[in-house]
Amino acid sequence: MKDIIRRALMNSAELHVRMAETMTEDISKAAGLIARCFQFGGKLLLFGKGGSAADAQHIAAEFINRFTIERAALPAIALTTDTSVLTSIANDRVYDEIFSRQVEALGRKGDVALGITTSGSSENVLNGLFVAAEMGIITIALTGELGRAGSLADYAIRVPSREVPRIQEAHIAIGHVLCEMVDYVLFHK
């Protein structure tokens, strides 16, 4: 068991080192877009399924409440939290529209839509990004190295891995860095 634990932690650490060496520009661009969105009265719409849904909620909470400093609340909405909306869309329309329909209802030009998908191929996330782009909303895909999400979005943050657990660990680390950078841009004095 100790070898399995050691290997999992080392793989995660090695991935984080690779990300630090290769992804700072992509993360910086995304943080700048989100900060600018907030500066000009826009909101951040976050969505994903499964573990990525939890990440969307986690990141939204950090923006709304606080991350590491006391500051004004920032308008972030996880489109994964309203079970009545999610289940009615899945029932009355199709499951693949659970995010696109919400983006259509809640999104406005000047907002940012951040779709999270470890595989890069979750149809409901792809549809959310597609509708956002059609509406003139800036789109960011947070994904692994595979799938269409990265090429569909205006900006892609691609974790250089194909291992779902490692990608998920990287996604929440990136979410935290985005929060930290947005706080720095907007509130650093």
Tens digits of residue pLDDT in 154-177? 999 999 999 999 999 999 999 999
Per-residue pLDDT tens for 88-138?
A: 999 999 999 999 999 999 999 999 999 999 999 999 999 999 999 999 999
Report the Cα–Cα distance between both ends of the chain, in Å, rounded: 48
Q: At CB < 8 A and 24+ separation, what contacts does 63-71 make?
A: 63/179, 63/182, 67/176, 67/179, 67/180, 67/183, 68/180, 68/183, 69/183, 69/187, 71/183, 71/186, 71/187
Residue 189: what pLDDT? 64
Count CB-CB contacts under 10 A for residue 17: 10
Give me the domains of the chain, ranges plus CATH numbers: 2-187 (3.40.50.10490)
Residue 26: what pLDDT? 96
Query: What is the mean predicted confidence (pLDDT) over 137-161?
Result: 96
Residue 69 has pLDDT above 80, yes or no: yes
Residue 36: what pLDDT? 98
Residue 43: what pLDDT? 98
Per-residue pLDDT tens for 13-62?
A: 999 999 999 999 999 999 999 999 999 999 999 999 999 999 999 999 99
Residue 188: what pLDDT? 87
Residue 164: what pLDDT? 95
